[in-house]
Copies of this chain bind each other. A is one copy, B any other.
């Protein structure tokens, strides 16, 4: 059995026979490395082990600049290495298919490579890098410059713009600024971001959701706020209730919510909250519940704009014919949640 202790020892030895077997992530720096990385070794208490770089990425770590753990095997083509390097160096940059084309790459080819070697598309890969980097940024707070320097960044600009673009860009000038707190938590269906205001929880969503950046943008706009890392008076209750939910011991939530939106959206979300644990309704039924039977499309759309997963249970709405149709966190999570609520799933 490969225990954490054994892996830690391999790490200290820089044992190359563990290359490809595990990845080590360092909680204090938000960086993950190969077992053989030449950088200074972390304390045992600060490490987490993952099997693959993908997992580390999903949990919010960024790849080490020294050992480049995303360059899996030696057979990573040079042009891919270059791309990865580039994204790591300036995570706020978005490389679109067009940009790939400009450099003479066939976007399809790149996508196929990432899919094969990292099990995600190139675009998803970039999205996670962007948010992870910005988030790690915030956690380091005033130590920003030090961190940036240590990690070999030539300048702060990449870091700063990455951080600003996603969390801190002022929506309007000189208006009263509010603060939204943000934190990352772990759940059995993967890591999630939680956000809270004075009044309550304003976001709870999966870290790999495609809409994530849009959601942050909307929140900033609605609240005329900046998003900052750190605690919020509602987080402990939320986490407690979520744990209970995932233990199968909680069916409804009491933590206060603060979910701004158009009147129509709000009424859709209110309707969603009336669907009981373990039950499902169709989009059509939902619109009928709202007294607007013809607004099926609009309702589905508003469901999709729900920023508070699980608590506002948009996963309980499925197609008329019983198919799952869609879910922001991915269909597999929708399936998992429904199975779980029906008691068909036992957690380890």
The SS class assigned to the A binding surface is helix
Residue-wise, chain A 301-319 has the 8 Å CB interface mask toward B (1 for contact) of 0000000000000000000
Query: A96 touches which one: B101, B102, B107, B154 (CB < 8 A)?
Result: B154
Please name the residue on chain B nearest to A98 by beta carbon. Answer: B149
For A146, the chain B residues whose CB sits under 8 A away are: 101
Please name the residue on chain B nearest to A102 by beta carbon. Answer: B149
Q: Is A156 engaged at the interface, CB distance under 8 Å to the other chain?
A: yes
Residue-wise, chain A 142-159 has the 8 Å CB interface mask toward B (1 for contact) of 000110010001111000
Q: Is A106 engaged at the interface, CB distance under 8 Å to the other chain?
A: yes
Query: A106 touches which one: B96, B145, B154 (CB < 8 A)?
Result: B145
Query: A97 touches which one: B96, B102, B106, B156 (CB < 8 A)?
Result: B156
For the complex, give the distance between the alpha carbons of A97 and B145 in Å. 10
For the complex, give the distance between the alpha carbons of A98 and B217 in Å. 15
> Is the pair B101, A155 in contact by a Cβ cutoff of 8 Å?
no
Please name the residue on chain B nearest to A106 by beta carbon. Answer: B145
Q: Which of A175-210 contact B (CB under 8 A)?
A: none
Q: Shortest distance in angstroms between A120's beta carbon and chain B's nearest beta carbon?
A: 18
Q: Shortest distance in angstroms between A60's beta carbon and chain B's nearest beta carbon?
A: 27
Please name the residue on chain B nearest to A145 by beta carbon. Answer: B101
For the complex, give the distance between the alpha carbons of A102 and B146 in Å. 9
For A102, the chain B residues whose CB sits under 8 A away are: 149
For the complex, give the distance between the alpha carbons of A97 and B148 in Å. 11
Q: Shortest distance in angstroms between A195's beta carbon and chain B's nearest beta carbon?
A: 25
For A106, the chain B residues whose CB sits under 8 A away are: 145
Q: Which of A50-104 contact B (CB under 8 A)?
A: 96-98, 101-102
Residue-wise, chain A 102-114 has the 8 Å CB interface mask toward B (1 for contact) of 1000110000000
Q: Shortest distance in angstroms between A69's beta carbon and chain B's nearest beta carbon?
A: 30
Query: A155 touches which one: B97, B145, B153, B154 (CB < 8 A)?
Result: B97
Please name the residue on chain B nearest to A157 by beta carbon. Answer: B97
For A97, the chain B residues whose CB sits under 8 A away are: 149, 154-156
For the complex, give the distance between the alpha carbons of A156 and B101 in Å. 11
Q: Which of A96-141 contact B (CB under 8 A)?
A: 96-98, 101-102, 106-107
Please name the residue on chain B nearest to A146 by beta carbon. Answer: B101
Please name the residue on chain B nearest to A153 by beta carbon. Answer: B98
For A96, the chain B residues whose CB sits under 8 A away are: 154
For A153, the chain B residues whose CB sits under 8 A away are: 98
A residues lining the B interface (CB < 8 Å)? 96-98, 101-102, 106-107, 145-146, 149, 153-156
Task: Sort A-B residue pairs by CB-CB distance and give the 10 closest, nearest first.
Answer: A98-B149, A101-B149, A98-B154, A96-B154, A97-B155, A97-B154, A101-B145, A101-B146, A106-B145, A102-B149
Offer 15 A-B interface pairs, CB within 8 angstroms, sorted by A. A96-B154, A97-B149, A97-B154, A97-B155, A97-B156, A98-B149, A98-B153, A98-B154, A101-B145, A101-B146, A101-B149, A102-B149, A106-B145, A107-B145, A107-B156
